[in-house]
Amino acid sequence: MNQRPVLTTTAGAPVPDNQNSASAGPRGPLLLQDYQLIEKLAHQNRERIPERVVHAKGSGAYGTFTVTHDISKYTKASIFSAIGKKTDLLLRFSTVAGERGAADAERDVRGFSVKFYTDEGNWDLVGNNTPVFFIRDPMKFPDFIRTQKRHPRTNMRSPTAMWDFWSLSPESLHQVTILFSDRGLPQGYRFLNGYGSHTFSFWNDAGERYWVKFHFKSMQGHKHWTNEEANQIIANDRESAQRDLYDSIEKGDFPRWRVCVQIMPELDAEKTSYNPFDLTKVWPHAEYPLHEVGVMELNRNAEHYFAEIEQSSFSPSNIVPGIGFSPDKVLQARLFAYADAHRYRVGTHYEALPVNRPRSQVNVYHADGAMRFDAPKGTDAYYEPNSFNGPVEAPSAKEPPLRIHGDADRYNHRDGNDDYTQPGNLFRMFDEGQRQRFFDNIAGAMQGVPAFIIERQLEHFRKADPAWEAGVRAALQHIETSAASAPTTAADVAEAAE
């Protein structure tokens, strides 16, 4: 017992009594001078930070990325510089729509955010378990998210809002297809693929640019719940995915992903039949095959969930030399949105927190602001340029010029876009069982939605594949017939039981 450290106030003074507040007489009232009690209550009042506006419910773990194949001819990124090279990383998984207390086993897209602590700074790949997304113009992101969150009056989620938005936004069809397929309800975070989703770029020492898409293939395989199974899971365990990930790492069963890339030479982007920067499209693997690059393993749980996972801050704008962006409009908007969210959610110096801090040196001139706890060194060099040996630019990190052309305008992103072929192709890959579950999932999610909205969505299904429309119509009809023949009141039930 003598070895145990002494409890102190935050100012370091020993606390003589942590059980009894100071009162005037044994029955009270309390004394305002009991600052130890006041400190305790005041700290508790400040224990929460805003949850993420999306992807609020999540789980994370640390791990390692190991290079297995040489891609240094495409990128000068030091993380890929040699076979066998290892880089530490943090991965945070999430669901999108639910709040921090949401159940894990919900039908939703899963977030897949990786922070690679490379020796040239942090590279964050903030992706999903789907290679595409619901929108292709970021102007629609806040509207889309509103349809996934609670209705302002009922405070419940609204299938009407969801299908209204989707049926008015045909570019969502590809992602909707994945969401209502088996992949929309994975059994846990170990059993899903990750995708960078956007097109990014690689650039090499010669200044050549390649377009690239990142894929993380689960080496645990894919496992999914049906809606009915998920309901059972949620009834017993709201943290099913957190538990599965945490337990498997604790017992040394480390989950792994094969890391692959699709690579497109820069000028091919002008020849493809689809816009390779459109986030609602995939690049056909027959044209742009997967190249294996390395293996990612998760092998260490966080010690403190709040400090390390809740405060972790991932941003697509965190790139390193050899990796660049692309013209993808949604990516471009995300380059602003995340660091802005972090400054609000975590605080100005969020990147100085241990979980976010790069493992390489950080030399910046922005200095002051709330929570600056590490005084910058070299106090005479606090502006740039200076004559006092302050940090200077690194011209070798300059990216090659990005080829762009066109007049500045608000271009209609729906003009001439084929929103049906790729979702239709995906649908045609489903076997009979997958199709039936897909139809049932969609029909179930459409309950209570006005008929005119359902009809508008069915028309999109028809354009992708007539069998898709027919299947959903039949599933809707089946639910309607079952409801009509089902006992509805207590008296009906009693009667039916006789």
Cβ neighbours around 365 below 10 Å, total? 12
Report the run of H or E that residue 376 belongs to, with start and end.
Answer: none
Nearer to ligand HEM, 118 or 312 (CB): 312
Nearer to ligand HEM, 67 or 212 (CB): 212
Residue among 52, 57, 76, 217 that touches ligand HEM (CB under 6 A): 52
CA-to-CA dists, residue 144 to 74, 147, 450, angstroms: 36, 5, 19
Amino acid at 29: P
Q: What angle do CA 433, 436, 442 make, to 5 degrees?
A: 140
Q: How far apart are CA 349 and CA 341, in angstroms?
A: 12
Nearer to ligand HEM, 158 or 312 (CB): 312
Among the residue ranges 21-29, 310-318, 383-391, 489-497, the one whose residues contact ligand HEM (CB under 6 A): 310-318
CA-closest candidate to residue 113, choices 74, 174, 182, 62? 62
Nearer to ligand HEM, 143 or 492 (CB): 143
Q: How many helices (H) and strands (E) does the chain have?
A: 13, 10
Q: How far apart are CA 204 and CA 231, in angstroms?
A: 49
Amino acid at 211: W
Written as one string, the DSSP assignment of 79-113 is GGSSTT-EEEEEEEEEESSS-TT--SSSSS-EEEE
Residue among 57, 58, 87, 347 that touches ligand HEM (CB under 6 A): 58
- CA 284 to the chain's CA centroid: 23
Residue among 30, 31, 53, 397 that touches ligand HEM (CB under 6 A): 53
The answer to whether residues 200 and 118 touch, using CB atoms and an 8 Å cutoff, is no
Nearer to ligand HEM, 197 or 242 (CB): 197
Nearer to ligand HEM, 190 or 437 (CB): 190
Is 193 catalytic? The answer is: no
Site size for ligand HEM, by CB under 6 A? 27
Residue among 118, 172, 313, 356 that touches ligand HEM (CB under 6 A): 313
Q: How far apart are CA 383 and CA 325, in angstroms?
A: 29
Which candidate in 18, 69, 122, 128 is catalytic?
128
Is 198 catalytic? The answer is: no
Among the residue ranges 49-57, 259-267, 414-422, 460-468, the one whose residues contact ligand HEM (CB under 6 A): 49-57
Amino acid at 482: S
Residue among 334, 437, 460, 463 that touches ligand HEM (CB under 6 A): 334
**Nearest position to ligand HEM, beta carbon:** 111
Among the residue ranges 127-135, 236-244, 300-308, 400-408, the one whose residues contact ligand HEM (CB under 6 A): 127-135
In the complex, the smallest distance separating the C-beta of residue 463 from ligand HEM, rounded to whole angstroms, is 24
Amino acid at 267: L
Alpha helices in 356-489 (DSSP H): 421-429, 432-445, 451-464, 466-485
Nearer to ligand HEM, 334 or 437 (CB): 334
Q: Which residue has the tokens 């089946």?
A: 478
Among the residue ranges 151-159, 175-183, 330-338, 432-440, the one whose residues contact ligand HEM (CB under 6 A): 330-338
Which candidate in 55, 174, 349, 460 is catalytic?
55
Residue 338 binds ligand HEM, judged by CB under 6 A: yes
Q: How many CA atoms lie within 13 A of 497 on its CB side?
A: 7
Contact positions with ligand HEM (CB under 6 A) in 92-111 = 92, 94, 111
Residue 307 binds ligand HEM, judged by CB under 6 A: no
Residue 149 binds ligand HEM, judged by CB under 6 A: no
Residues at the contact surface with ligand HEM, assessed by CB under 6 A: 52-55, 58, 92, 94, 111, 113, 126-128, 133, 138, 141, 197, 312-314, 330, 333-334, 337-338, 341-342, 345
Active site residues: 55, 128
